[in-house]
Amino acid sequence: MKHGVSRWLPLIVLLGVAGCGSQAQQSPGASLLTPTITPVFLLPAPLANPAGGPGRAASSATPSALAVAPGVTVTSAVPILMYHQIKDLPANASADDLTWTVSPKSLDAQLGFLAENGYATISLDQLLDGLAGRATLPPKAVVLTFDDGWKTQYINALPLLKQRKQTATFYVVSSYIGYSAYFSWAMVQEIQESGMTIAGHTVDHASLTGLSLAQVERELRDSKTALEQKLGLTVAHFAYPNGAYNDAVVEAVKHAGYRSATTINPLSVKNPVSPYLLPRLRVSYQATLADFAKKLP
Ligand SMILES: [Zn+2]
């Protein structure tokens, strides 16, 4: 199995893990049901030659390979935390809901922990600039991401982020906007104006590895265009629905004009890494604050 970045080695295949699991029951249309997919769990290869990678001269790094910035060592890691629904669950909640939900109280505690322990929330643009050596990253940087455009994020996460002056990226499914469980356009606008990043997550949450190239290109292009035209912004970042990608999908994301893409592979970002295979750490409903703290470097 090849992923186009020689220093990344596919190691373990996780079976039966579906990103955004609760999506299947709550999508606005029955046709949006998403099959269980098999994300590939990647671990970085040894980083002895981080500037160029094995067998590759530093000067010939591909566009997908970030240079190592001065002062950023292979021991520095920037966690990208991944959230979906932010709401309270009943005692009999399903395993699926527990996987893809965090309570408002827990999120509040987690954001408070970050603030009190010197973690600075940064945008994906800042992360990429920092990893490429064009900007200085804070010593303890963390990226917060929220997937799918759930209305519970607007109601329960946005006020907490604003209160602490923290920033986050919201991956929005363009055709979901306006449905009752999801953001309205006005909410997306307000989130963006609150200093958050609005990013792409396809038109209808399609698992891109199951589509033709033309369909993949349409999902990437039409969702980006819809957000950009309605909001007057540039959509530069993308998350693979259900964490599903392969070489062709990664190439299509690059060609569609996105600057980065996140997976659901559970690792911290270490140099060097492809900006189109950024790993993320999921926070679950049952995670204690101690569990949360252990995810952080
Ligand atoms: Zn999703």
Measured in angstroms, how far is the CA atom of residue 47 from the centroid of ligand 1?
31
3 domain residue, yes or no: no
d(CA 38, CA 41): 9
Measured in angstroms, how far is the CA atom of residue 207 from the centroid of ligand 1?
9
- Strand partners of residue 108: none
Measured in angstroms, how far is the CA atom of residue 116 from the centroid of ligand 1?
30
User: How confident is the model over 63-115, as pLDDT tens digits?
Assistant: 333 333 443 333 348 999 999 999 999 999 999 999 999 999 999 999 999 99
Confidence tier at 274 by pLDDT (50, 70, 90) = confident
Measured in angstroms, how far is the CA atom of residue 243 from the centroid of ligand 1?
8
State how many domains the chain has: 1
- From the number of C-beta atoms within 10 Å of its C-beta (0-12, 13-18, 19+), residue 105 rates as exposed
199 domain residue, yes or no: yes
Measured in angstroms, how far is the CA atom of residue 83 from the centroid of ligand 1?
10
38 domain residue, yes or no: yes
Measured in angstroms, how far is the CA atom of residue 97 from the centroid of ligand 1?
14
CATH of the domain at 171: 3.20.20.370
Measured in angstroms, how far is the CA atom of residue 55 from the centroid of ligand 1?
36
Measured in angstroms, how far is the CA atom of residue 241 from the centroid of ligand 1?
5
Measured in angstroms, how far is the CA atom of residue 39 from the centroid of ligand 1?
13
User: Which structure tokens are listed for 203?
Assistant: 């038109």
Measured in angstroms, how far is the CA atom of residue 216 from the centroid of ligand 1?
15
2 domain residue, yes or no: no
Measured in angstroms, how far is the CA atom of residue 208 from the centroid of ligand 1?
12
Confidence tier at 268 by pLDDT (50, 70, 90) = low
How far lies 170's CA from each of 4, 109, 123, 201, 276, in Å? 27, 20, 11, 9, 17
Measured in angstroms, how far is the CA atom of residue 51 from the centroid of ligand 1?
32
Measured in angstroms, how far is the CA atom of residue 23 from the centroid of ligand 1?
7
Measured in angstroms, how far is the CA atom of residue 15 from the centroid of ligand 1?
18
User: How confident is the model over 166-221, as pLDDT tens digits?
Assistant: 999 999 999 999 999 999 999 999 999 999 999 999 999 999 999 999 999 999 99
Structural domain of 264? 8-55+63-295
| Pairing assessment for the beta strands 141-147 and 80-83 based on DSSP bridges | parallel
Report the pLDDT value the prediction gives residue 32, as an integer from 0 to 100. Answer: 35
198 domain residue, yes or no: yes
Report the pLDDT value the prediction gives residue 282, as an integer from 0 to 100. Answer: 94
Q: Is 276 left (phi over 0), alpha (psi -120 to 50) or beta?
A: alpha
User: How confident is the model over 278-288, as pLDDT tens digits?
Assistant: 999 999 999 99
User: Which structure tokens are listed for 99?
Assistant: 């996987």
Measured in angstroms, how far is the CA atom of residue 20 from the centroid of ligand 1?
5
1 domain residue, yes or no: no
User: How confident is the model over 104-156, as pLDDT tens digits?
Assistant: 999 999 999 999 999 999 999 999 998 888 999 998 999 999 999 999 999 99
Report the pLDDT value the prediction gives residue 80, as an integer from 0 to 100. Answer: 94
